[in-house]
Amino acid sequence: MRRKVLVAAMLCACPLAALAQGDSVTLNGVTFDFAAQASPLTQLQQNFARSYIDAVNNRSATSLLGLRDNSYSTCAEFGIKVLLRDLQQVQIPANAKLRFFTTSADFATLLRAEDVVYMPVRHTAIFGISFATATKDNVRFVSILRPVRETGETITLIPYCPTEKGKSLVY
């Protein structure tokens, strides 16, 4: 049971806030720098970002699941559970920094989770959101990183699929 909790925590926490240091996140030696100069988002990227943010902020499972890549069918139940965890996050503010990072590194490897999960298709970018929330006692930096695939006029979220080892830990 403890291993199940650790796997779930690793898959959900790492891409969201682990190793966040203000405007950058480093995963396995690859840094996602939200403060670096970036090209303006394309209209397609803006539309995807708006759809994702609206789904999370409205806690709409239907809208969020509508952003999935067709490859989810190879790992539907597990991929859906991981994706729906995004709905438990804080509200994403209008001033959040949005980026589409290009990297050739496999996202499961960046998470150091390649022995328990894999991506059923290769990502074309990592969609990133960064913002800070503040109270009178502290400031919390939140970074969301999700592998995405752009095909034609569509951007979709790539699901996590469990490996055989991952299945034995989760199911």
DSSP 17-79: TTTEETTEEEETTEEEETTS--PPPPHHHHHHHHHHHHHHHTT-HHHHHTTB-GGGGGSHHHH
Helix, strand, coil percentages (3-state) for the chain, rounded to 5, are 35, 25, 35
Domain count, the chain: 1
Contact 116, 169 (CB under 8 A): yes
- Beta carbons of 19 and 76 less than 8 angstroms apart: no
pLDDT of residue 171: 53
Give the model's pLDDT for residue 170: 59
Q: Which pLDDT belongs to residue 46?
A: 96
Question: Residue 106: its pLDDT value, please?
Answer: 80
Domain that holds residue 22: 2-170
For each of the chain's 171 residues, which pLDDT tens digit applies? 333 333 333 344 344 434 444 577 777 777 788 888 888 999 999 999 999 999 999 999 999 999 998 877 767 677 677 778 888 877 899 999 999 998 877 877 777 777 777 778 888 899 999 888 777 888 777 888 899 999 989 999 988 887 777 767 655
The SS3 call for residue 129 is strand
- pLDDT at position 58 is 95
Dump pLDDT digits (tens) for 61-82.
999 999 998 877 767 677 677 7
130: β partners: 97, 143
Pairing mode, strands 154-157 and 139-151? antiparallel
* Ramachandran category for residue 152: left, alpha or beta (phi over 0 → left; psi -120 to 50 → alpha): left
pLDDT at 20: 44
